[in-house]
């Protein structure tokens, strides 16, 4: 069925939007989307865009995968809403069973469903507090955890939260162990050891461990610019949490579901968090997320203290089940690794060609980024050229997104159904735009 629209052009749409939609709902890119399939979408002018952003990491299984569309249609004909607090229904339970199977958190695992990433984070904090009977939460610089009040408090970047306070109390922030931007003269290992000491010191100089309910960290930061938690640091975090009865929460909202070549990025570390938060790719665009965790911690939440009217809506659950099924059948984890390899090879070649502007190439699996700097210096982020670069890519029909406090990190979140030909086409565009800003 064709969606009827009175909008003729992208500009018309943006003009209408500006008249009736709050400016607070920011516009990242001046484009429109009318329909989409696989790794491309089409704007109001019918122009094809190669999508290296996936609606911020959501359409990992591709735009409108036919089996997901069919599952949504079928479920919508049968049951759209019941509210899981009121009546139990199959898709919610089946989805939790599937999540427990693919993402076990120790011997016994339980799940609660949510609508969004921020909601997953809010609930994980509530569960951790009820389990430990403690209140403080430790988070990180360059973190992004969402826009609801606790999630926004945990988020680092000021432009997301300016003027929205007062924020939630009892939140403490550690510097993210950003290896690329480590102080000059420190080796990677020395730097990581310094940050581990800082982690231990926080209980001496900032908040006692007896007050701390949770530490929340993104194994690979999303909005922060695909900064990867060093192995030794994650191991230290696990130890510290065990030692002090602190709940370790891995926020996998952006890194989860095949993006890094595994279901969760934490799996690369050979350790298991106590709780983890998810959303985005799970529903292929339908609003669904979850908290997964050790059963005894999940069960510490008192009945009625987590949940809501809509979380785990039957149609969203059907979409999520079909998405996970598709990811498994198409082996998107393996595809993610292959995409990552291709991207890394191309990005490293670009770094060799433009060593002064491509400061860093990093990522796990298909969660790859390049950091744009001045004069090859990690401490001189190239904000203005990042903007010129991204606009150049848009001009060539490539949807790319930037990340990082300084908006100088190109992050790729391409749908994993992308073909090698499409991938190389997008990377050619990136290379040609880097050439233009190279000086």
Ligand X SMILES: Cc1ncc(COP(=O)(O)O)c(C=O)c1O
**List of residues contacting ligand X (CB under 6 A):** 56, 116-118, 121, 144-146, 218, 222-223, 251, 253-254, 279
Chain residue whose CB lies nearest ligand X: 117
CA neighbours closer than 13 Å in the CB half-sphere of residue 343? 30
Nearest Cα neighbor of 150 from 115, 175, 128, 119 is: 119
Nearer to ligand X, 136 or 249 (CB): 249
Separation CA 390–CA 408 (nearest Å): 10
Asked whether 289 and 116 are in contact (CB, 8 A), the reply is yes
Measured torsion, CA atoms of residues 56, 112, 240, 207, in degrees rounded to the nearest 10: 80
Nearer to ligand X, 220 or 301 (CB): 220
Question: In terms of residues, how long is the chain?
Answer: 439
Nearer to ligand X, 49 or 226 (CB): 226
Give me the least distance between CB of 236 and ligand X, in Å please: 21
Give me the least distance between CB of 253 and ligand X, in Å please: 3
Q: Which residue has the tokens 């690329």?
A: 180
Nearer to ligand X, 145 or 346 (CB): 145
Vertex 284 angle, CA 18 and 279, to 5° = 85
Give me the least distance between CB of 191 and ligand X, in Å please: 23
Measured torsion, CA atoms of residues 114, 297, 239, 241, in degrees rounded to the nearest 10: 80
Give me the least distance between CB of 271 and ligand X, in Å please: 18
Nearer to ligand X, 223 or 433 (CB): 223
Give me the least distance between CB of 322 and ligand X, in Å please: 20
Nearer to ligand X, 56 or 94 (CB): 56
Give me the least distance between CB of 439 and ligand X, in Å please: 32
The DSSP symbol for 313 reads: -
Nearer to ligand X, 264 or 392 (CB): 264
Q: Which residue has the tokens 């990082």?
A: 404
Give me the least distance between CB of 415 and ligand X, in Å please: 17
Backbone angles phi, psi at 309, to 5 degrees: -70, -45
Nearest Cα neighbor of 114 from 325, 302, 306 is: 306
Nearest Cα neighbor of 143 from 361, 387, 405, 400 is: 405
Q: Longest Cα pair distance anywhere in the chain, in angstroms?
A: 63
Nearer to ligand X, 62 or 222 (CB): 222
423 to each of 66, 354, 415, how far by Cα in Å?
21, 20, 10
Give me the least distance between CB of 346 and ligand X, in Å please: 25
Give me the least distance between CB of 419 and ligand X, in Å please: 26
Ordered DSSP codes for 195-252: HHHHHHHHHHHT--GGGEEEEEE-SB-TTTTSPBPPHHHHHHHHHHHHHHT-EEEEE-
Give me the least distance between CB of 143 and ligand X, in Å please: 8
Between strands 40-42 and 35-37, the pairing is: antiparallel
55 Cβ contact partners less than 8 Å away, ≥ 6 residues apart? 285
Nearer to ligand X, 175 or 397 (CB): 175
Nearer to ligand X, 144 or 263 (CB): 144
């Amino acid at each position: 069925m064709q969606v009827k629209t009175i909008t003729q052009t992208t500009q018309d749409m943006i003009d209408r939007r500006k008249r009736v939609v709050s400016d607070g709902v920011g516009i990242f890119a001046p484009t429109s989307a009318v329909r989409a399939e696989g790794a491309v979408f089409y704007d109001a002018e019918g122009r094809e865009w190669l999508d290296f952003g996936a609606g911020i990491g959501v359409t990992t299984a591709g735009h409108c995968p036919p089996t997901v569309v069919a599952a949504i249609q079928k479920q919508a004909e049968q049951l759209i809403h019941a509210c899981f607090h009121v009546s139990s229904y199959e898709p919610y339970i089946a989805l939790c069973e599937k999540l427990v199977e693919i993402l076990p958190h120790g011997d016994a695992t339980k799940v609660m469903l949510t609508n969004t990433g921020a909601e997953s984070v809010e609930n994980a904090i509530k569960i951790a507090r009820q389990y430990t009977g403690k209140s403080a939460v430790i988070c990180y610089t360059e973190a992004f955890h969402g826009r609801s009040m606790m999630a926004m408090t945990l988020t680092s970047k000021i432009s997301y939260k300016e003027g929205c306070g007062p924020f939630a109390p009892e939140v403490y922030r550690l510097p993210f162990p950003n290896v690329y931007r480590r102080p000059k003269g420190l080796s990677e290992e020395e730097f990581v050891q310094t940050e581990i000491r800082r982690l231990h010191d926080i209980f001496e100089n900032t908040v006692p461990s007896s007050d701390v309910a949770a530490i929340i960290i993104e194994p690979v930061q999303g909005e922060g610019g695909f900064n990867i938690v060093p192995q030794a640091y994650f191991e230290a975090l696990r130890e510290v949490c065990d030692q002090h009865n602190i709940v370790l929460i891995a926020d996998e909202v952006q890194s989860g579901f095949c993006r890094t070549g595994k279901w969760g990025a934490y799996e690369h570390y050979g350790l298991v968090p106590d709780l983890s938060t998810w959303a985005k790719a799970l529903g292929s665009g339908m609003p669904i997320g979850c908290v997964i965790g050790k059963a005894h911690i999940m069960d510490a939440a008192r009945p009625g203290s987590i949940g809501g009217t809509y979380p785990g809506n039957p149609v969203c659950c059907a979409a999520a089940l079909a998405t996970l099924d598709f990811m498994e059948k198409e082996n998107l984890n393996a595809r993610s690794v292959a995409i990552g390899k291709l991207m890394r090879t191309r990005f490293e070649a670009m770094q060799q060609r433009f060593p002064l502007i491509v400061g860093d190439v990093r990522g796990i699996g298909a969660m790859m980024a390049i950091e744009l700097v001045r004069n090859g210096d990690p401490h001189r982020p190239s904000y203005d050229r990042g903007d010129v670069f991204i606009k150049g890519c848009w001009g060539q029909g490539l949807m790319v997104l930037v990340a990082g406090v300084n908006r100088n990190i190109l992050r790729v979140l391409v749908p994993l159904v992308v073909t090698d030909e499409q991938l190389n086409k997008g990377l050619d565009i990136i290379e040609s735009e880097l050439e233009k800003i190279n000086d």
